[in-house]
Amino acid sequence: NQQATWNPCASLNASGACVSGGGNSLASMLLGLPVGSGRQLGNAGVNLRDRIAGIYAQDSWKVSNKIQLNYGLRWDYTAPVTEANNRLSGFDIWTNQWYIPKGDTDTPTGPLPPGVIISPRNTITHPDYTNFSPRIGFDYLVLPKTLVRGGIGVFFDNWSGAFQAAQNARGAWPSGASQNVNNLNIAGITPGATAQNPFGTLQPLEPTTPFPAGGGFLDTRWKDAYSWQWNLEVQQQLSNSSVFSVAYVGSSTSRGPIQVPFNVSTVLGPTQVLPFPNMSQFNMIQSISHMNYNAFQSKYERRYTNGLAVTGAFTWSHAIDAGCEDYWEGCNIQNPYNLRSNRSNSSLDVPVVFTASALYELPFGKGKKFATEGPASWLLGGWQLNGIFSTRSGTPFTVNINFDNANANGGNQRPNQIGNPKGPQTLKEWFNTSAFAVAPQYTYGNTGRNSLRGPRYTDLDTSLFRSFRLPRGSSLESRFEFFNVLNHPQFGNPDGTFEDATFGQIQYITGNPRELQLGLKYIF
């Protein structure tokens, strides 16, 4: 499994080596000038297995004609993830040892290298028998048309987190290893590498020891994440066909998964002090994150009456975490020794969301108010108009630097904020780029994580249906559907890397332009 990255040369010297950056990466690819290449040696496959069991008890109590309680208790057991051939080796930060699971079919014969042990288990993590989930809810009919309901409970992530994280063990020593070459075709360093043979004379041989190792590992003290979730809602019936409700919804999640950079220098300065000198920089997925969400939610619903149905919903919310959510993609932790300094807006935080939809059957044709018979009924009857409008806040993003200014050996570093970042919000300058500067050397920047927000999302979809009645109760429906009917562009977030020439500029569109879709639907 081999892949190459291509160096975007701006110019070449007489030997054909890159002498400066910039240029066009496609042109470099056509010239066959890779800047680096990597390949996976050995066996990178896994066959993961898991076992989950749960029991629960619940009850309902009708306290009175107006009040009802629902309560219960659940217990879940999720066994540690295993692999069919016990290929789940990795590094243990608590013992500073490389472990090979008991029964690993790739265990080397003969003496093990220094710092490598055989684990007494065939799993990475330990079993946990304490996943208890109490829950309680209530309904209170305050007035004949006014209902108050609420509830609170604990919910565990019994499988997805651990199962996803365990995949990081695949392809690790002794089952396999990664082999990489970098700084290719750089003038005065490593000129002459080709796309056909970027590795030169380097042989695809697995090393005899895992050290020094990098990559990603799962913490041996991993535990399932759990979340307290609660809500309180007031619902008011406005008429026989319409209801309005307001609610407070919240959650607090503990032991959330977070990918933390490790082997980061404990002292910032010209000389690095690494806590794991036998390792290179690596990442560890740990269950130590805390996340919370609070929201005001409101909803209006008019059920289908006289050919019209309407729904509208508004949410005002805030989600906070320490980073690396969404299965740890796009992690941006700066200082792993102070995770609280990374706590800010979640990348999934969308404070304001408004959505409205409507369905309207035109009042023409058989059984309707107008044009109930004759040619007018055939021409005008059976039409239905639909629409969905949605708008929401933009997503947050982080201004970062793409080099190790602090000499920390890891982490995603940020510049200093020296002014007001509010900008003109144009495609060429979404925020004030002059409000940032590189921090003094050997220091972390003071810019907050996810402190800026990208463009708002707005969309209107409409459709027009025509239904034709057919014999034996069947019907044929023609559908004219318009997506993004206003052709409103949905812009992505701007470039947040400080040293890029396009810093602060919006470079791409995330949504589709206006689309028309025609279709037929036969109902029988």
pLDDT digits over 493-513, tens only? Answer: 999 999 999 999 999 998 889
Sequence-ordered list of residues with C-beta below 8 angstroms from that of 106, at least 6 positions apart, any chain: 42, 43, 85, 87, 174, 175
pLDDT confidence tier of residue 195, bands split at 50, 70 and 90? confident
User: Is 199 in contact with 36 (CB distance < 8 Å)?
Assistant: no
pLDDT confidence tier of residue 1, bands split at 50, 70 and 90? very low
* Mean pLDDT of the region 232-254: 97
Residue 39, CA distances (Å) to 181, 248, 324, 429, 472 in order? 9, 51, 26, 39, 63
Q: What's the rounded Cα separation, in Å, for the pair 221 and 92?
A: 9
pLDDT confidence tier of residue 202, bands split at 50, 70 and 90? confident
* Mean pLDDT of the region 481-501: 94
Strand partners, 482: 462, 516
What Rg do the C-alpha atoms of the chain give, in angstroms?
A: 30
Strands 282-305 and 215-218, bridge-based pairing: parallel
- Asked whether residue 43 carries a pLDDT value surpassing 90, the answer given is no
Query: What percentage of the chain has pLDDT greater than the value 90?
Result: 67
Q: What's the rounded Cα separation, in Å, for the pair 330 and 378?
A: 57
Instruction: Name the H helices within 373-434.
Output: 374-380
pLDDT confidence tier of residue 523, bands split at 50, 70 and 90? confident
How many angstroms separate the first and last alpha carbons of the chain? Answer: 51
Tens digit of each residue's pLDDT (9 = 90 or more) over 353-372:
999 999 999 999 888 888 88
Give the pTM: 0.84
| DSSP annotation of 362 | -
Q: What's the rounded Cα separation, in Å, for the pair 496 and 504?
A: 6
Tens digit of each residue's pLDDT (9 = 90 or more) over 249-289:
999 999 998 889 999 999 999 999 999 999 999 999 899 99
Which pairs count as long-range contacts for 156-161, CB under 8 Å and 24+ apart, including other chains? 156/76, 156/78, 156/131, 156/224, 156/225, 156/226, 156/227, 157/224, 157/225, 157/226, 157/227, 158/52, 158/54, 158/76, 158/78, 158/131, 158/224, 159/50, 159/52, 159/78, 161/224, 161/225, 161/257, 161/287
